[in-house]
Homo-oligomer: A and B are copies of this chain.
Amino acid sequence: MQSPWQLVSGGVTSPQGFQASGIAAGLKPSGKLDMALLLAPEQAVCAGSFTTSVVRAACVDLCAERLAANGGQARAVLINSGQANACTGDRGLIDSQRATQALADQLGLDAEALLICSTGVIGVPIPMPKLLAGLDPLVAALSATGGEAAATAILTTDLVSKQVALEAELGGRRVRIGGIAKGSGMIHPDMATMLGFFSCDAGLDPSIWKAMVGQAVQRSFNAITVDGDTSTNDTVLAFAAGDPLDSVHHAALEQGLTEAMQHLAKAIARDGEGATCLIEVQVEGALDEPSAQRVARTIVGSSLVKTAVHGRDPNWGRIVAAAGRSGVPFDPEQVALWIGPHQLMQSGQPLSFDPEAASRVLRSETVQIRIQLGDGPGNGLAWGCDLSDQYVRINADYTT
């Protein structure tokens, strides 16, 4: 369907009733903004999506447990950048609890309604006196225009801050979705956790919102890969609060949420350190959507495909080889492949094509690869970036 959503300027505080702030509390040695707060209206529902890693930070455990205990309700999330609070043992959980308790006292709320996310160096505890001293100015700075400061305060190795706001008319009323995110690929895994925070000024049942958020995350943040590594702290939290939205508009809302998340997911992939372009892989004709997504992710995650794109080489062999090892069954003799508008394969065999023209397409800011596996109904998308010698230098030279 034609999307009713329009991109508007703004971010996580664009939806009505949401406030945010960002300050420098001295957690980062650089003196940059390093604490953020997002406050949702009363009655807000919240859904989360967390890292699947076995090694996960204390704050991730805390978020998952409180959301489950509260039946998907929460009022605010505190974010600190500088220390990931992962591999910090019992102390990590105690620090997370203390931080949310102190914030609850400041806000006059129940600590159980507050969440916390951390990003930064692994294995280093949060300097708690600095964080606690930061709560007072952080709460004082809360405002309906504070989304931009919050977007900056959650960054670590990112080159640019990432915000999105969408607006639609649904049933005669204006609905907005906002979001901020950080992450520049798992380039410094101990500094580059992926975090995303979303807001929406429509009221929804917690279980319906949770299903929407899960589906939108699957089609956005779970569809990007920079180098295949997953962090200890990856978290997406999405809040919704406002007048209830008629169920006839739920599909449109999910579409908007998906568009907002895809917008920021692509911004993260494009911000991969050393990256010179965004790669979008479109898989068609698979058995189902999960199969198509798996093939798309395998292609966009292949070091060989990524280096070929970096070298502006229309190497169809690497793309089809990556599809072949994805674990998804298909008939190789039905495969068709395009780079941009140029078709390189048909019925599993190479076509003759103009390599110069195809190479020119690979010089775009966004490189589009499309592969048709068969005539099944499953389509899927994935995004990533090219692999440059700059990536290796950044990672090899970075010393813990």
Nearest chain B CB to A227's CB is how many angstroms away? 4
A316, A324, A328 — most chain B CB neighbours (10 Å): A324
How far does the alpha carbon of A87 sit from the alpha carbon of B190 in the complex, in Å?
Answer: 41
Oligomer copy total: 2
- Chain B residues closer than 8 Å to A317, beta-carbon distance: 87, 121-123, 189-190, 400
Q: Please, how many angstroms separate the alpha-carbon atoms of A393 and B389 in the complex?
A: 7
Q: Does A307 contact B (CB under 8 A)?
A: yes
Stretch of A74-82, A132-140, A208-216, A342-350 that contacts chain B: A342-350
Residues of B within 8 A of A54 (CB): 323-326, 328-330, 332
What does DSSP make chain A's interface, helix, strand, loop or mixed?
loop
Binary per-residue interface labels of chain A (232-264) against chain B in the complex, 1 for a CB within 8 Å, 0 otherwise: 100000000000000000000000000000000
CB-CB under 8 A for A348 and B395, given A227-B304, A304-B229: no
Does B53 contact A89, Cβ atoms closer than 8 Å? Answer: no
Q: Is the Cβ of A307 less than 8 Å from the Cβ of B392?
A: yes
Instruction: Tell whether A320 is near chain B: CB-to-CB under 8 Å.
Output: yes
Interface magnitude class on chain A? 35 or more
A366 at the interface (CB under 8 A from B): no
State the CA gap A397–B348 with chains docked (Å): 26
Q: Are B321 and A228 in contact (CB under 8 A)?
A: no
Tell whether A387 is near chain B: CB-to-CB under 8 Å.
yes
Q: Which residue of B lies closest to A393 (CB)?
A: B389
Residues B87 and A55 in contact, CB atoms below 8 Å apart: no
Q: Which residues of B contact A329 (CB under 8 A)?
A: 54
Q: Does A303 contact B (CB under 8 A)?
A: yes
Complex alpha-carbon distance, A388 and B332, angstroms: 33
Pick the contact of A55 from B186, B311, B321, B387 — CB < 8 Å?
B321
Q: Are A189 and B310 in contact (CB under 8 A)?
A: no
Selected A-B contacts with CB under 8 Å, 29 pairs: A51-B325, A53-B321, A53-B324, A53-B325, A54-B326, A54-B332, A55-B332, A55-B348, A56-B332, A87-B320, A89-B333, A121-B317, A122-B320, A123-B316, A123-B317, A186-B304, A189-B304, A189-B321, A190-B315, A190-B317, A190-B318, A231-B321, A307-B392, A307-B395, A311-B395, A315-B400, A388-B396, A391-B392, A392-B392
